[in-house]
Chain A
Amino acid sequence: MTRKRRRLILIGGALGVLAIAVALMLNAFRDSIVFFNSPSDVVEKHIAPGTRMRLGGLVKAGSLVRGDDLKIRFDVTDGNREIAVAYQGVLPDLFREGQGVVAEGALDGSGVFTADTILAKHDETYMPKEVADALKKSGHWKDDYGRRAAMPAAGAGK
């Protein structure tokens, strides 16, 4: 076998594996991408029921209703629109009314968003970036969202 032929085999193999990887990725991109939407987006884009997506916004104060068997309903709002969310399961530790939330699932026929995942965050000061952007877009962003509690009077200095 000549040096040239060996190199060809090597390059051919490399391109082959690369092609497989690219094909796998393109295929996966078609099937498994989930879009993020704010409640306003959901209304404006007329998203069809059953389309898997992420819904983000603030949990509307006073909207949380707990039912039997760990069933939960609450409204997600971006200040302009609201979407009712239904979820069954244990809520993450940082789930609170008035706080940011990201839910994953799909709209059902009656316009209720059925979530199978409510995303949990590690940090009480943390506002999911998508939620922050959506709030800014709808004009309901407040500067203290996601910010640490005010520092002691003098602030930082030497």
Chain B
Amino acid sequence: MIAELGHYALILALGLALIQASMPIVGARHDDPTLLSVAVPAALAQFVFVALSFGALAACYVTSDFSVLNVYENSNSAMPLMYRLTSVWGNHEGSMMLWVFILALFGALVAAFGGNLPVKLKANALAVQAWIAAAFQLFILTTSNPFLRIVDAPFEGRDLNPVLQDPGLAFHPPLLYLGYVGFSIAFSFAIAALLEGRIDAAWARWVRPWVLTAWMCLTLGIAGGSYWAYYELGWGGYWFWDPVENASLMPWLAGTALLHSAVVMEKRGALKVWTILLAILAFSLSLIGTFLVRSGVLTSVHVFATDPRRGIFILAILVAFIGGALALYAWRAPLLKQGGLFAPVSREGALVLNNLFLTCACATVFVGTLYPLALEALTGDKISVGPPFFNATFGPLFLPLLVAMPFGPLLGWKRGDLLGAAQRLTAAAFIAAVAIAATFALQHGGPVLAPFGVGLALFVMIGALIDLAERTMILRVPLNAALRRAAGLPRSAWGSAIAHFGIGVTLLGIVVVTGWGAERIAALKLGDTIDIAHYRLTFDGLFNRPGPNYREVVGRFTVHKINGDLLGTMEPSRRTFPARNMATTEAALMRRGVSQLYLSLGDPAPDGTVPVRLYFKPLVLLIWLGALVMFVGGGLSLSDRRLRIGAPRPAKMPAAPQAAE
């Protein structure tokens, strides 16, 4: 009964979405306030019904109703409650439901909190939002219905894919989808602005919080997914340049560019047309990401249960929305007026540079990810584009971006003083140089590039601190005056400096773990020891341990420092899940500061030897901590007063932008 209610609620939601998609548009064309006013209640009601539908599916999972095909295929009554709940989106149908649920949630938030938006813009944006919602609801109802029943209900379900039975599933997909779908708001606003044919600086201010929210969630989602893959897949990698990872990285890059260009648009009224394009691109890339993950057209280590037939439907959605949006852009964008002149060396100039490098880096990822598809379609040759390609393209493009990053915030609007900024960064450059020299001195014949990477990371981090120091004038005025200045500093200034600092932290982690990480692979017998970095592990034997829905063979290892201090034990294991006859490897991690020892177990041989992979990952946790710092920076920026109190009327342009000279 619950499943049928959920199914029915989804159909009703589709009906509401169709109303929301059409009425406000007509209303906006004919200036009909009645039709315009349909948008808000329709968006709210649509959310209620989508939430009911999603709730119904969740209820089927929690109560283990195996008469529902989707539950039967992806759940098992022996699973703990948390995994029964998270397995709602651990499969194709359920994850599309989550997608639609978050889409409706964002729509409802705009409807509920967009009180100070111009009526037409809001109605049009909600209508565009409803087009997307209707397309995906139709997709679910026709090709991926999670509410189908089985006539003879089985007693037990087939279990969730064991790799997914992990707390990571509770956070990673929802965060990622919050990011993907969050960009739909920017997209809807961009289309709405194009439909109206007018746009002003206030547009950027309305859109910015949504972009920022989406960006924050995506940052955390990508980082979380990376950490999950790192400990779950058992080969110690945190980023594989896999198509599915790239699919999430591309919207992040475009979104980061959008975040920065929106600043220019808001403060200076420039880059309007470009910002609109980025808003369209960021969401288009999110759609492409969904397509890549859901259609199974690419070979990936992260793809679960795909069905190419569905790919065609998503491809159609993709073509319709991206093609339609870009066509509308080509047609209407020339109507939008350009504004705000600036010198090449200025804050705006720096942000343009940021956008150039980010979009080009995004383009290389795009080409590298989709080239194999294109080549196969054209010549039939099958190729794979792996890490070497991305290291050789993405890396060199990101490098100048990182070098330039500390300069940007130190340049003034309109016309900046590059020499002055360089002088203020002397301290950072000096410390970076010392760090490079020191790392070279400390290591004996280690990697050549890594010390420079360390220097760059420090330059970025200290550069961010200098930005804050300059704004608070901490070393130049008495301390309490500086504190007062710090308190008066807009939160967005704190936010951007902290986010930039986070980039440096992540970079430091990546550089150090790449440069000085160690790996050992060996077959160990009882009592054997294995050394890595300055640690020694002793194999103390295997034992069995029962789990709720699996059997587990655990290896116990004692960890000592080479000089003899006992540090503890590590217990990597292999789990066998009888419901699917599948095995997973559970790596053991031992944290040492922000570094980690990583140990994973292979299949034990009959004679009792076990193959192990052992890694020493220096500073590896910084990679994800840096993302957390970026998230906090984004959060501070989001809480900025000017975003909370909403945008003022599109104030008289500050004395119509004049040429600087």
Find B388's partner among A2, A31, A154, A155 (CB 8 Å cutoff).
Answer: A31
Residue A6 lies at the interface, judged by CB distance under 8 Å to chain B: yes
Known: A17-B357, A152-B150. A69 touches B523 (CB 8 A): yes
How many chain B residues sit at the interface, stated as a range, is 35 or more
CB of B295 to closest CB in A, whole Å: 11
**Are B344 and A31 interface neighbours, CB within 8 A?**
no
Of the A-B pairs whose beta carbons lie under 8 Å apart in the complex, a sample of 11, sorted by A's number, is A13-B344, A14-B356, A17-B360, A18-B356, A27-B392, A28-B389, A37-B382, A70-B521, A94-B582, A126-B303, A154-B152
Interface positions of A (Cβ within 8 A of B): 1-3, 6, 9-10, 13-14, 17-18, 20-21, 24-25, 27-29, 31-37, 54, 66, 68-70, 88-91, 93-94, 102, 104, 119-126, 128-130, 133, 148-149, 151-158
Q: Give the interface centre of A2, A3, A21 by most chain B CB atoms within 10 Å.
A: A21
Q: Mark B302-346, 1 if CB is under 8 A from A, else 0.
A: 111100000000000000000000000000000000000111100
Question: What chain A residues lie within 8 Å of B303 (beta carbons)?
Answer: 122-123, 126
Question: What chain A residues lie within 8 Å of B353 (beta carbons)?
Answer: 13
CA distance A111 to B69 in the complex (A): 48
Residue B447 lies at the interface, judged by CB distance under 8 Å to chain A: no
**Are A36 and B382 interface neighbours, CB within 8 A?**
yes
CB of A153 to closest CB in B, whole Å: 6
Q: Give the interface centre of A24, A91, A93 by most chain B CB atoms within 10 Å.
A: A93
**Are B384 and A34 interface neighbours, CB within 8 A?**
yes
Question: What chain B residues lie within 8 Å of A24 (beta carbons)?
Answer: 364, 392-393, 396-397
**Are B393 and A28 interface neighbours, CB within 8 A?**
yes
CB of B405 to closest CB in A, whole Å: 15
Find B356's partner among A17, A33, A128, A152 (CB 8 Å cutoff).
Answer: A17
Residue B584 lies at the interface, judged by CB distance under 8 Å to chain A: yes
CA distance A148 to B149 in the complex (A): 18
CA distance A133 to B603 in the complex (A): 30
**Are A124 and B396 interface neighbours, CB within 8 A?**
no
Known: A24-B396, A29-B389, A121-B301. A152 touches B152 (CB 8 A): yes
Known: A70-B611, A90-B602. A158 touches B521 (CB 8 A): no
User: What is the chain B residue whose CB lies nearest that of A71?
Assistant: B523
Interface positions of B (Cβ within 8 A of A): 69, 72-73, 148-152, 154, 158, 161, 163, 233-235, 296-299, 301-305, 341-344, 352-353, 356-357, 360-361, 363-364, 367-368, 371, 381-386, 388-389, 392-393, 396-397, 521-523, 574, 580-585, 600, 602-603, 605, 611-613, 659-661
**Are A157 and B151 interface neighbours, CB within 8 A?**
yes
CA distance A13 to B343 in the complex (A): 13
Find A10's partner among B344, B363, B371 (CB 8 Å cutoff).
Answer: B344
**Are A35 and B382 interface neighbours, CB within 8 A?**
yes
CA distance A122 to B381 in the complex (A): 25
Chain A at the B interface: SS class: mixed
Known: A28-B393, A54-B384, A66-B605. A3 touches B341 (CB 8 A): yes
CB of A152 to closest CB in B, whole Å: 5
CA distance A34 to B352 in the complex (A): 35
**Are B392 and A28 interface neighbours, CB within 8 A?**
yes
CA distance A35 to B385 in the complex (A): 9
Question: What chain B residues lie within 8 Å of A28 (beta carbons)?
Answer: 368, 388-389, 392-393
Known: A123-B304, A123-B305, A157-B148. A32 touches B299 (CB 8 A): no
**Are A90 and B611 interface neighbours, CB within 8 A?**
yes
Question: What chain A residues lie within 8 Å of B521 (beta carbons)?
Answer: 70, 88-90
Question: What chain A residues lie within 8 Å of B397 (beta carbons)?
Answer: 17, 20-21, 24
Find A32's partner among B352, B357, B389 (CB 8 Å cutoff).
Answer: B389
Find B613's partner among A10, A88, A90 (CB 8 Å cutoff).
Answer: A90
Known: A25-B393, A70-B521. A154 touches B356 (CB 8 A): no
**Are B233 and A33 interface neighbours, CB within 8 A?**
no
User: What is the chain A residue whose CB lies nearest that of B382?
Assistant: A36
CA distance A25 to B585 in the complex (A): 36
User: What is the chain A residue whose CB lies nearest that of B342?
Assistant: A6
**Are B305 and A32 interface neighbours, CB within 8 A?**
no
